Amino acid sequence: MSLPTASSELACDIFCAVVDNFGDIGICWRLARQLRAEHGWRVRVFVDDLNVFHALCPEIDATLARQEAAGVVIEHWHAPMPAGDTLEIADVVIEAFACEIPHAYISAMACRERKPVWINLEYLSGEDWVTDFHMRPSLHPRYPLEKSFFFPGLGAGTGGVIKESDLDARRARFDANAWWRERVGIARQARAKTVVSIFAYENPTVDALLAQWRDGGAPVVLLMPEGRISGAIARFFGLPKFAAGASAQAGALEAHALEFVAQPRFDELLWAADINFVRGEDSFVRAQWAAKPFVWHIYPQADDAHVPKLDAALAHYTAGLASAARDAMTRFWHAWNGNGTPDWVAFWSHRRELETRAAQWATELVRIGDLAGNLVSHANTRVSR
């Protein structure tokens, strides 16, 4: 078999351990599809939780050990896994979020005549230190292998974030009227009503925000996919549950529960709303590409280790805002993440500035390059050594 070159079709294995929620496999699945569809790589995804994967991609059968979707091979990763003995080792091996790929596979990597390009795909961060560590190599302590750390980021000198080449075109073609009829079952809302989407972790401040919308002078329409705060929404409206298809109204607040959709259709929800509350990493990135104002519920960590990451993202995003809008956004994001009570009126009084900044930021973010493209360039450079 001839050795791969930078221009040939490369084989790529992505290892993903589902730690919590949909973020880990969500990012890996987007990356895998893009590497296959746009760069022609032959991609396999090894994932340890097919049930979670099924929620994002309904065509996945959680009972199968091996299957294919969107041109990508899916392998159920479980111990013991003698991958290095039974499977061909890929040209590019991506260890997502330091998930520790099987020892047998690493051993087989070391035996390969042309050593694989081994990449540890890290979590997204806007912190300044990321640029110093992005693509930094690390030698394996036992084998003649080198692993490089690849950091998604929000600034120059990082790996950027995932963006498919056709995303802007799909957003331009989006038929909001048809979406409202299909997903919500009602006509598209008038501009006089603020449409809010919420995809969040459990959040003790949600009741205060719902009360502000209920008691406010301007009507708010809430769109909420079934998820971890569905119970809180149900309790607020005095309902036993708030499942897909349910609607409720109190004062100026009207709420609609939506069915959880396959990953490629999540963007449509963001496009249909005026402002989006998102969580984790994957939906955080999609909200930025939606070019709409958004609020981020960052994944909480012990000892408030997530707060510097929140502030770093705010520093990037709010750099183009006037001080009053920047301060209001910072206070609101911190309150939504557990530090204070969110003040909706003060925050949304800057709506026009926030809308302008959202569009500007999406343009700025493009300049870093998309994650898949940057990763392919890095891998091609190393393969051709």
Active site residues: 24, 281
Confidence category of residue 4, pLDDT binned at 50, 70, 90: very low
Structure confidence at residue 308 (pLDDT):
94
pLDDT average, residue stretch 215-238: 95
Confidence category of residue 82, pLDDT binned at 50, 70, 90: low
Structure confidence at residue 300 (pLDDT):
87
Confidence category of residue 85, pLDDT binned at 50, 70, 90: very low
pLDDT in tens, 95-114: 999 898 988 899 999 998 89
Structure confidence at residue 168 (pLDDT):
97
Structure confidence at residue 5 (pLDDT):
44
Direct distance between the N- and C-terminal alpha carbons of the chain, in angstroms, rounded to an integer: 18
Mean residue pLDDT of the chain comes to: 92
Structure confidence at residue 157 (pLDDT):
95
Structure confidence at residue 79 (pLDDT):
67
pLDDT in tens, 371-383: 999 999 999 988 8
Confidence category of residue 3, pLDDT binned at 50, 70, 90: very low
Percent of the chain, pLDDT > 70? Answer: 95
Sign of torsion, CA 312 314 316 320?
A: negative
Structure confidence at residue 276 (pLDDT):
98
Domains of the chain, CATH where assigned: 11-161+368-383 (3.40.50), 167-366 (3.40.50.2000)
pLDDT in tens, 123-167: 999 999 999 999 999 999 999 999 999 999 999 999 999 999 999
Q: How far is Cα 362 from Cα 290, in angstroms, rounded to an integer?
A: 8
Judged against a pLDDT cut of 70, whether residue 274 lies above it is answered with yes
Structure confidence at residue 8 (pLDDT):
59
Structure confidence at residue 84 (pLDDT):
45
Exposure pattern of 368-380 as b/e (b: 16+ CB <10 Å)? bbbbbbbbbebbb
Least confident span in 33-37, 61-65, 104-108: 104-108
pLDDT in tens, 277-309: 999 999 999 999 999 999 999 988 877 788 999
- Over the chain, what HEC string results? CCCCCCCCCCEEEEEECCCCCCHHHHHHHHHHHHHHHHHCCEEEEEECCHHHHHHHCCCCCCCCCEEEECCEEEEECCCCCCHHHHCCCCCEEEEECCCCCCHHHHHHHHHCCCCCEEEEECCCCCCCCHHHHCCEEEECCCCCCEEEEECCCCCCCCCCECCCCCHHHHHHHCCHHHHHHHHHCCCCCCCCCEEEEECCCCCCCHHHHHHHHHHCCCCEEEEEECCCCHHHHHHHCCCCCCCCCCEEEECCEEEEEECCCCHHHHHHHHHHCCEEEEECCHHHHHHHHCCCCEEEECCCCHHHCCHHHHHHHHHHHHHHCCHHHHHHHHHHHHHHCCCCCCCHHHHHCCHHHHHHHHHHHHHHHHCCCEHHHHHHHHHHHHHCC
Structure confidence at residue 88 (pLDDT):
80
Interhelix angle 282-289/23-39, nearest 10 degrees: 50
Judged against a pLDDT cut of 90, whether residue 19 lies above it is answered with no
pLDDT average, residue stretch 58-78: 94
